[in-house]
Chains A and B, each alone.
Chain A
Amino acid sequence: MVAITQSTPRAPRRRGRRGSHSGVPAGRGVFARLTPYLFLLVAVGLLLLLTYLPAANMLWYSLTDWDGLDLEKNFVGIDNYVQVFTNPQIFGVFGVSLYYFAGSFVQMAIALYFAALLSYRTRFSNFFRGVLFFPYLINGVAIGFVFLYLFQPGGTLDTVLAWVGLSDPPQWLGDPDIANYSLAATSVWRYTGLNFVLFLGAIQSIPGELYEAAEIDGANRWQQFWALTFPGIRRIIGLSFILAIAGSLSVFEIPFIMTGGANGTSTFVIQTLQTAFSFRQVGLASAMAIVLLAIVLVVTFIQRKIFPDEKVELS
């Protein structure tokens, strides 16, 4: 690849920064042309080795019945994909994502509420901002334990409920009807801080004079929010919405750490990894991973169509 490029465009380089300093020996010229590739060598090498080669392999594995060990892989066509879509035990798991998807709406609403509050002058605003954001930084396993402790029978949550007279609480993580709500709530606790900081940054980048003008015109805070704040952050809300879809399809850490996928809390990613590493059906697992990849790509494509430039400037 490098050899081919040697014979190619010399012109822009000559005209470029190097200028036409004479007396550059031929050997050095070749070296100079190779320079950008040398700078990129390791990064691109690792990218191909650890991202694209696995992706290509995954595509190939997904058409075989490979178990991850055999030397031979039998080509089975689209059988694995048929199974992904027809076996309710596999595709049905996407239903669990709905809990997290609903949770992400709650999360965005809470984040938006507090971002709007803290965009006004507030005492201890740094403290409040810090506390709201901090959960996002905590180690996932630690969060898992924090909430296992909170939800355990007779634990923190049950004690608080007993104070207000609710003495017969359900099994928060043991009851399949409730476990997913508990886990989605944990996820809300963990990720609200990120949404909040994103929203706050967007709100603070709206010029303050607009609010002063609105104030003079007699607009109350509610009116100010709908007329000024909301339009200013519509884009970041849209982006968060798309991220919420992709995120809730690929939920993994919280259910894996807290319940291991038991009691109907398994997600598509947990299922994929179990299929690959516990049941040794690498072919089927690859097909599952490809399906997820395809869905994420479609979602991202839609995002790019709706919000062509999704960058957010922060103060």
Chain B
Amino acid sequence: MSTALSRSRVGSAASTTVKYVSLVVAVVITLVPLSVLVLASFKTSTEFGQTGPFDLPASWFNFDNYVEAFQKGGMVEGFINTSIILLFSLAGTIVIGTMAAYAIDRFNFRGKPLIVGLFLVATLIPGVTSQVATFQIINGLGLYNSMAALILLFMGTDIISIYIFIQFMQSIPTSLDEAAMIDGANRWTIYWRVILPLLRPAIATVVIVKGIAIYNEFYLPFLYWPSQGTISTSLFRFKGPFGAHWEIIAAGTVLVIIPTLIAFVFLQRFIYRGLVQGAVK
């Protein structure tokens, strides 16, 4: 008995070691590729050429590369454009999505299964390749090379938000609707005064999930708005002019990652829940 016990104790000590060693290895593999870029971003051009990737920069206060990335790299433009796109796309998605969810969850009407089916099937169509034909539509609307094209696409291709809204709305008791109706409220008032305020947690989830997706979206702005940059396309264009200047590319990359990091640190709980909901649809 006592030998078995001590053996299991030794075993569990060994397995604890293995566990923490493998976790530390995973952390190193995750963080080293990112950290070396931070190191590079603080080096001067000559310093970068003379030192290895793991050598610390001579000065941690050398922000020249960041200034360069901001000014010449068009990161200012990128951040402003992405912010405006985020604002309008998210507002649009929330209004359109909650209205659609309200109709689907709270009404019985002719053609409802058809409409729900249309939304469901649409999630299966691969987004990127269908741009072959979507491009012609955007072009036909005269929206090619405009921010409006992106806002329209972000608002219009969002089925997961509607799904999240419907799921949440199912947990709001219909007795609330009925009480408001007895008080003489019409459907619009109920939607606006009763349902929408109660949907706040779902709206927060959608804002976070969709916000991250829009912030990271690369191909749509690349295809539809070649004349100006968003975060992703501004950074992508570093490839040409700064091709040999890794210290500036590094600064730009770090600048793009920082907002994501801040959002993640503060909104962890929502992000885990939201992204997982979105991923498994």
Is the pairing of A and B real? yes
- A residues bordering B, Cβ < 8 Å? 1, 5, 8-9, 12-13, 16-18, 32-33, 35-37, 39-40, 42-44, 46-55, 57-58, 61, 68, 110, 113-114, 117-118, 120, 122-123, 126, 128, 130-142, 144-147, 149-150, 152, 155-156, 159, 189, 194, 197-198, 201, 220-221, 236, 239, 250, 252-253, 256-257, 269, 272-273, 276-277, 282, 285-286, 288-289, 292-293, 296-297, 300, 310-312, 314
Q: Give the Cβ gap from A217 to chain B, nearest Cβ, in Å.
A: 14
Interface residues on B, range: 35 or more
Contact present for A57 and B110 (CB under 8 Å): no
Contact with A along B244-272 (1 / 0, CB 8 A): 00100110110011001101100010011
Q: Which of B96, B177, B223, B264 has its CB near the most chain A CB atoms (within 10 A)?
A: B96
B90 within 8 A of A: no
Secondary structure call for the B interface: helix
- Do the beta carbons of A142 and B100 come within 8 Å of each other? no
The residues of B with any CB-CB pair to A shorter than 8 Å are: 8, 11, 15, 19-20, 22-23, 26-27, 29-34, 36-37, 40, 52-54, 96-97, 99-100, 102-104, 107-112, 115, 118-119, 122, 124-126, 128-137, 152-153, 155-157, 159, 162, 174, 177-178, 181, 187-188, 191, 212, 215-216, 218-219, 223, 231-233, 235-236, 238, 246, 249-250, 252-253, 256-257, 260-261, 263-264, 268, 271-273, 275-276, 279-280
B71 nearest CB across to chain A (Å): 19
Alpha-carbon separation in the docked complex, A292 to B133 (Å): 14
Can you give 24 contacting A-B residue pairs, CB < 8 Å? Answer: A13-B108, A16-B108, A39-B187, A44-B100, A47-B156, A54-B137, A58-B133, A120-B19, A126-B268, A128-B26, A132-B30, A135-B30, A136-B275, A137-B216, A138-B216, A141-B232, A142-B235, A152-B246, A198-B279, A201-B276, A239-B280, A252-B128, A253-B219, A285-B132
Verify A289–B15 contact, CB threshold 8 A.
no
Give the shortest distance, in Å, between B14 (CB) and chain A (any CB). 11
A286 B155 Cβ-Cβ under 8 A:
no
Decide yes or no: A58 and B130 within 8 Å by CB, A35-B187, A128-B23 being known contacts: yes
Contacts of B122 in A (CB 8 A): 47, 51-52
- Pick the residue among B219, B233, B273 that contacts A314 (CB under 8 A): B273
